[in-house]
């Protein structure tokens, strides 16, 4: 009897989640229907409890009538885990393997998809500046969440993170003192110098629902695809393929890969230990 009830509750829970996600899409265009199920379920229940509700159906009613709750739920669904020079060896490999290719281009367009609060975008700007090619580069930094984009645009981050970021920078092959890139503010934060942001365009873009908007030499989308199911991953890989110029570079997160996708044979691996690929077909 208990097994039967457990299965009944799981079926009901799945129906409630599907209805909530469908309602969210129909109401405001946010499409989370193909996000990894277990991940989205955890975030929904977190919001149910945070709003002091007892059911997912109760949450659906609230998000449709309470803009504040809707905004909080969208924030829960936005994955905002990032840091400066995250996975330093990735940036070191980019410096050593990709930058020589970029030097041959008269101009460079880079897309940071799912840029969150922008730490990795500023990291790339530093790297390109040190390599002498930032002046001819435009970085398009996009995220679906307008709130994290505001943080990214400000270039202001907490001072307490700088020690870790400095270590990452050194391991990524940094050529200066990391502290040269920012000033400490009176309220205990740091502000990165505006010269880093001069060639960065921050804009909203949803990988699930929005289309390609330019042709790029480099696309970086790191630790985003792991939150999508296989069908949505395939859709986003198609988007990236369409958006990359021939011999363009695709950079993914350490738990992501081009292997076992329909696009596997259209890329070659640049660096075996880092997820850097070059479009060849």
Single out the residue in 35, 51, 77 at which a domain terminates: 77
Distance CA 211, CA 228 (A): 17
Last residue of a domain, one of 77, 100, 121: 77
Is 3 a residue whose pLDDT tops 80?
Answer: no
Cα-trace Rg, the chain: 21
DSSP 3-state of 251 = strand
- DSSP label at residue 256: -
Report the alpha-carbon distance of residue 83 to residue 29 in Å, rounded: 29
Query: From CA 132, how far away is CA 187, in angstroms rounded?
Result: 33
Asked if 175 and 38 sit in the same domain, the reply is: no
> What pLDDT shows up at residue 2?
44
pLDDT exceeds 70 at position 1: no
- Tokens 């367009």 correspond to 109
pTM, to two decimals: 0.84
Same domain, yes or no: 191 and 256: yes
Are residues 47 and 73 both part of a single domain?
yes
**C-alpha–C-alpha distance, residues 26 and 88, integer Å:** 41
Angstrom distance (rounded) from CA 202 to CA 154: 11
Is residue 185 a part of any domain in this protein? yes
Query: Do 47 and 157 share a domain, yes or no?
Result: no
**In a shared domain, residues 66 and 30:** yes
Same domain, yes or no: 118 and 61: no
In a domain, 127, yes or no: yes
Q: Are 243 and 215 in contact (CB under 8 A)?
A: yes
In a domain, 218, yes or no: yes
Residue 83 lies in a domain: no
Q: What is the mean predicted confidence (pLDDT) over 66-92?
A: 90
- Whether residues 71 and 29 fall in one domain: yes
Among 68-82, 84-98, 163-177, the minimum mean pLDDT is found in 68-82
Considering the domain architecture, whether residues 66 and 129 belong to the same structural domain is answered as no
For residues 166 and 129, what is the distance between their CA atoms, to the nearest angstrom? 17
Q: How many CB atoms lie within 10 A of CB 189?
A: 16
The residue-averaged pLDDT of 202-219 equals 95
Q: Of 49, 77, 105, which residue constitutes the final position of a domain?
A: 77
pLDDT at residue 51 above 90? yes
Beta strands in the chain (DSSP E): 108-113, 137-143, 156-158, 182-184, 189-192, 200-204, 216-221, 244-252, 267-271, 276-279
Nearest to 191 by CA among 145, 152, 141, 140: 152
pLDDT band at 173 (very low <50, low <70, confident <90, very high): very high
Q: Residue 82: inside a domain, yes or no? A: no
Domain shared by 60 and 186, yes or no: no
pLDDT over threshold 70, residue 62 = yes
Q: How many domains in the chain?
A: 2
Lowest mean pLDDT among 189-193, 220-224, 272-276: 272-276
5-49: pLDDT as tens digits: 566 788 899 999 999 999 998 988 888 998 889 989 999 999 999
Same domain, 70 and 94: no
Task: Look up the domain containing 243 and give its range.
Answer: 88-279
Bridge-based pairing of strands 189-192 and 156-158 is antiparallel
Distance, CA of 245 to CA of 214 (rounded, Å): 10
pLDDT of residue 29: 82
Whole-number Å distance between alpha carbons of 197 and 136: 13
Q: Which pLDDT score, from 0 to 100, does residue 4 have?
A: 56
Q: What is the DSSP letter of 248?
A: E
Q: Does 122 lie in the same domain as 67?
A: no
The predicted structure's pLDDT at residue 27 = 87
Torsion angle, CA of 30/33/37/40, rounded to 10 degrees?
10
Mark residue 55 as left, alpha or beta (left: phi above 0; alpha: psi -120 to 50; beta: remaining). beta
CATH number for the domain harbouring residue 253? 3.40.50.150
Question: What is the pLDDT at residue 132?
Answer: 98
In a domain, 114, yes or no: yes
pLDDT band at 81 (very low <50, low <70, confident <90, very high): confident
Lowest mean pLDDT among 76-90, 149-163, 266-280: 76-90
């Amino acid at each position: 009897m208990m097994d039967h009830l457990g299965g009944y509750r799981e079926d009901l829970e799945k129906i409630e989640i599907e209805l909530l996600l469908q309602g969210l899409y129909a109401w405001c265009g946010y499409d989370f229907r193909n996000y990894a199920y277990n991940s989205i379920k955890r975030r929904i229940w977190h919001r149910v409890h945070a709003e002091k509700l007892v059911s997912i159906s109760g949450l659906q009613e609230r998000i449709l009538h309470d803009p504040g709750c809707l905004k909080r739920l969208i924030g829960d669904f936005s994955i905002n885990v990032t840091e400066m020079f995250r996975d330093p060896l990735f940036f070191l490999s980019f410096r050593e393997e990709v930058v020589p290719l970029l030097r041959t281009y008269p101009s460079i367009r880079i897309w940071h998809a799912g840029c969150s609060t922008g730490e990795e975008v500023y990291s790339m700007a530093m790297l390109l500046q040190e390599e002498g090619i930032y002046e001819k580069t435009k970085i398009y930094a996009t995220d679906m969440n307008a709130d994290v984009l505001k943080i990214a645009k400000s270039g202001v981050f907490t001072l307490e993170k700088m020690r870790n970021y400095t270590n990452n920078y050194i391991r990524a092959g940094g050529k200066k003192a990391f502290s040269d890139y920012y000033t400490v503010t009176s309220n205990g934060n740091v502000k990165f110098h505006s010269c880093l942001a001069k060639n960065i365009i921050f804009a909203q873009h949803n990988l699930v629902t929005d289309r390609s908007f330019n042709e790029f030499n480099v696309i970086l989308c790191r630790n985003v695809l792991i939150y999508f199911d296989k069908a949505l991953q395939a859709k986003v890989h198609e988007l990236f393929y369409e958006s990359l110029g021939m011999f363009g570079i695709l950079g993914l997160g350490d738990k992501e890969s081009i292997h076992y996708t329909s696009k596997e044979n259209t890329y070659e691996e640049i660096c075996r230990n880092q997820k850097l690929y070059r479009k060849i077909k």
